[in-house]
Structure 1
Amino acid sequence: MKTADNVALCVRNFSKHYGEGCAYCMESDAVLDRNICPECGTIHACSDISFDLHKGEILGIVGESGSGKSTLMKMLYFDQEASSGEYHLADFLDGEADVLKLSSRQKRQIRNEILGMVYQNPVYGLKMDFSAISNIAEKLIASGSRNVGDMTATGDHFLGKVNIPLNRKFDPPVNFSGGMQQRVQIAKALSNYPPILLLDEVTTGLDLSVQADVLELIKEIQRELGISMVVVSHDLAIIRMLCDRTMVMLNGSVIEAGITDQILEDPQHAYTQQLVYSIL
């Protein structure tokens, strides 16, 4: 299998389960209690998920807490290992390799050079006691940079792009507000110009005005750099603002997918209808 010319990321039959599984729940037609096997108690956090992320596209993933959307993101960034499936990246070995089968060293290379990640909690994406510029340097060093002057210039560029005052670049993120911490995370994730950016609930817990600033920043970066993005949120208003296409997840499965406007204007699944009507 190889990615199509216009596809940046391709996932087929991605699954993640916690537990051994049994003959009953490993069958495709098994009836689970939400996403838990009634026979053996195995939790099927993600079940048989397939999708493409097109080049230059923002794909939204929406669903309630426990729907599996954050687990999916962790598998895409190798924070968790998938139980089964295939995963191809156009910018790694021309999209021909199933990156789930690669060595740990090759997966680190992909994290450092092809993927950028922005977590809901900045603690997972930043060293909170290191300076903002040092956090960016860490990402650049991991991707092969060695020239201090070049790394400083890159750090200054991206901190400026996310509106962090350069007179605070030596401050540690622990001294920043939540919105500023998220912007430093975004700067760090972008610093080596990755073709794909993953954003997991990046505005949760932020004040509304700060949310608006972060969302506008994401849109501006996508327009300027043409990066492909996957945006996870439980908030359809955020998905409406950012995303070209949307997948709706429930109990570990994708229950509906399509162009965002179509999903919002004519939802087909009862759960999606409930989501859409709740924001009207």
Structure 2
Amino acid sequence: MYEKPILKVRHLHKQFGKGCTQCQEGHSESLQKNYCPKCGTVYACRDVSFDLFPGEILGIVGESGSGKSTMMQCLYFDEAVTSGEAYVNDSDLMGKNMFELSAQQKRSIRNHKYGMVYQNPVHGLKMDFSSIGNIAEKLIAAGKRYVNEMEATSKNLLDSVHIPLFRMKEEPQNFSGGMQQRVQIAKALSNNPPILFLDEVTTGLDLSVQANVLDLIKKIQRELGISMVVVSHDLAVIRMLADRTVVMLNGSIIEEGLTDQILEDPQRAYTQQLVYSLI
């Protein structure tokens, strides 16, 4: 494995609600899963720490409500963390906790260092813009100004995700779910991000469409060497994509390791249950 992680996350904590004396740290046995029945606070992420290495696909797996999507939203600055640290191995950001940066600095990271593909394409695309317009919007945010250059880049990206170019001026709201996801992937790649987040990107798609999207993700990773964090509740998706896997339950990481190791010799009862449900 590489020496230096490209992304280092330490002690990420996210709660919805103020908490009370019953559920504050040290009283977690009073929680029902990650919910406090007394004050209604949800502890969505609890002390989450992991590394992402260059060129690696890291899988985050867990049931619905395990905190994996909230964690992703915190990393992409869609949600503010309650506490924690995240560092990107980049000369401009060395030693800076990204969660403590200004809104402008966070926006710059989203425009230049990160790509995001949401479970629901409505969150990643403007459905009433053309497909090429969606990509141009991201390019403009990343500082591009020349129309011909942006059009050429957009065409190449749409072609690479198998969107017919004669449909590039159509709005994504006219497309199937699988095509919308592919436009979203093209948009996320337009700023050449070193880190790409993918949140439940195959949920709700037909099996054949799922396979096409997963093949596309593997091809992109192989050709561009992008580091990816892939969130899924589906271990079959993680098995196909991930080099290493982190298992989350009730907001906490309960197991992590090489994906083959997690699948062949799961240590925790919950992970065993996940793996056996695949067989």
TM-score (ref. length: structure 2) = 0.97
* Aligned residue in 1 for 2:262: 263
Post-superposition CA distance 1:134-181 (Å, at most 9, x none): 000000000111110111111011101000011110000011110000
Deviation for aligned residue 1:41: 2.4
**1:57·1:229 contact (CA, 8 Å) conserved in 2?**
yes
**1:117·1:199 contact (CA, 8 Å) conserved in 2?**
yes
Q: State the alpha-carbon separation in 2 of the partners of residues 168 and 241 from structure 1.
A: 30
User: Structure 1: which 4+ aligned runs deviate by more than 4 Å?
Assistant: none
* Aligned residue in 2 for 1:63: 62
Letter in 1 for 2:87: H
**1:92·1:110 contact (CA, 8 Å) conserved in 2?**
no
* Aligned residue in 2 for 1:135: 134
Q: How many equivalent residue pairs?
A: 277
* Aligned residue in 2 for 1:112: 111
Post-superposition CA distance 1:4-33 (Å, at most 9, x none): 953111110001001111234232462121
Post-superposition CA distance 1:81-139 (Å, at most 9, x none): 00000011112634310011110000000011100000000000000010000000000
1:92–1:181: structure 2 CA closer, same or farther, 3 Å change rule?
A: farther
Deviation for aligned residue 1:42: 1.2
Letter in 2 for 1:13: H
* Aligned residue in 1 for 2:97: 98
- Secondary structure of the equivalent of 2:6? strand
Letter in 2 for 1:9: L
* Aligned residue in 2 for 1:15: 13
* Aligned residue in 1 for 2:172: 173
Query: For 1:20-39, what aligned pairs fall within 5 Å after superposition?
Result: 20-28=18-26, 30-31=28-29, 32-39=31-38
- The yes-or-no answer on 1:124 pairing with 2:123 is yes
Letter in 1 for 2:21: A
* Aligned residue in 2 for 1:275: 274
- The yes-or-no answer on 1:150 pairing with 2:112 is no
Deviation for aligned residue 1:201: 0.3
Q: State the alpha-carbon separation in 2 of the partners of residues 28 and 269 from structure 1.
A: 23
* Aligned residue in 2 for 1:52: 51
Letter in 2 for 1:223: R
* Aligned residue in 2 for 1:220: 219
1:64–1:89: structure 2 CA closer, same or farther, 3 Å change rule?
A: same
- The yes-or-no answer on 1:72 pairing with 2:93 is no
Q: State the alpha-carbon separation in 1 of the partners of residues 27 and 258 from structure 2.
A: 28
Where does structure 1 lack aligned partners over 5 or more consecutive residues?
none
**1:91·1:114 contact (CA, 8 Å) conserved in 2?**
no
Query: For 1:154-233, what aligned pairs fall within 5 Å after superposition?
Result: 154-233=153-232
Q: State the alpha-carbon separation in 1 of the partners of residues 181 and 37 from structure 2.
A: 40
- Secondary structure of the equivalent of 1:48? strand
- Secondary structure of the equivalent of 1:7? coil
**1:63·1:233 contact (CA, 8 Å) conserved in 2?**
yes
Post-superposition CA distance 1:163-206 (Å, at most 9, x none): 00111100000111100000000000001100000000000011
- Secondary structure of the equivalent of 2:28? coil
Where does structure 2 lack aligned partners over 5 or more consecutive residues?
none
Q: State the alpha-carbon separation in 1 of the partners of residues 173 and 54 from structure 2.
A: 35
1:82–1:241: structure 2 CA closer, same or farther, 3 Å change rule?
A: same
TM-score (ref. length: structure 1) = 0.96
Letter in 1 for 2:265: D
- Secondary structure of the equivalent of 2:14? strand
Letter in 1 for 2:60: I
- Secondary structure of the equivalent of 1:45? strand
Post-superposition CA distance 1:9-65 (Å, at most 9, x none): 111000100111123423246212100124432110110000000010000000111
State the Cα RMSD in Å: 1.2
Q: State the alpha-carbon separation in 1 of the partners of residues 91 and 16 from structure 2.
A: 29
1:26–1:92: structure 2 CA closer, same or farther, 3 Å change rule?
A: farther
1:23–1:75: structure 2 CA closer, same or farther, 3 Å change rule?
A: same
